Amino acid sequence: MLICPICRGDLHKVDNGVACPANHRFDRARQGYLNLLPVQHKNSRDPGDNQAMVEARRRFLDGGHYAPLAERLAQLAAERSPARWLDIGCGEGYYTAQLAHALPDAEGYALDISREAVKRACKRAPQLEWLVASMARVPLADASCNLLASVFSPLDWTEARRLLAPGGGLLRMGPTREHLWELRGLLYDEIRDYDDEKHLSLIPEGMSLAHSETLSYELQLNDAQARADLLAMTPHGWRASAERRAKVIDAPLRVRVAIRYDWIQRDQ
């Protein structure tokens, strides 16, 4: 199932880690995850979200603000009954843990390029195989997954198609143009619009959209820490001016949550 990120050979267990026939070895961290991100595949010393960003997301999500989103994601995954699944870009593991709970009999994997994120994520569901790895070079075998989950995460569509078994699918969860509309209005002079279906033009040959739905609700944030964490876990936290970010943190906020779910299936 696992393959070497350097030579693509099969990985097998050795001592406290894994190795391939070419003797590329990778140790398992004391927290339980495998680091399958070779230094030559990094674009910085510590790629991905840093500790402050990971902690902000953990606090906000553990506060239950996005609980309806995670519940629907888990329901949609359970309806597909995959034998093996992978969460691509798992972050600090909030949504991954919901998937693991909904799929107790399935073989589960999760990866992120951020070591800080995976270090915390693996505590949420120790039964999964947690990986620090690149989404552009996923260290799993061809056609090995029945379900891929991509939650608020960039996606390499070629890799997604490679990983999916025939009949399997990608469960993509991402924002619509209405998502956090009021927050964006406070941060910018002009709210930049975008096409909710733009990603559909990226679907590669051999995959097709089989189901789509949107979940939306109003979220009241009376706690300043929750507002600060929301800013920190979105691109708006560094795009907007410090003055406007401070105004958001200083006053209660009612904001719209609007998320689209797509099931994009690999053809038989």
Instruction: Determine if residue 199 is labeled as part of a ligand binding site.
Output: no
What's the rounded Cα separation, in Å, for the pair 12 and 25? 10
- Residue 93 marked as a ligand binder: yes
| Residue 4 is labelled as binding a ligand | yes
Token pair of 112, please?
Answer: 């992120």
Rounded CA separation 3/140 (Å): 5
Q: Which of 149, 100, 103, 102 is nearest to 128 (CA)?
A: 100
Beta bridge partners of 18: 13, 26
Is the CB of residue 247 less than 8 Å from the CB of residue 186? yes
- CA pair distance 26, 250, nearest whole angstrom: 46
The residues facing 111 across adjacent strands are 88, 131
145 carries a ligand binding annotation: no
Alpha carbon dihedral 107, 77, 86, 215, in 10-degree steps, equals -160
* Residues of each annotated binding site for Zn(2+): 4, 7, 20, 24
* Residues of each annotated binding site: 4, 7, 20, 24, 66, 92-93, 179
* Residues of each annotated binding site for S-adenosyl-L-methionine: 66, 92-93, 179
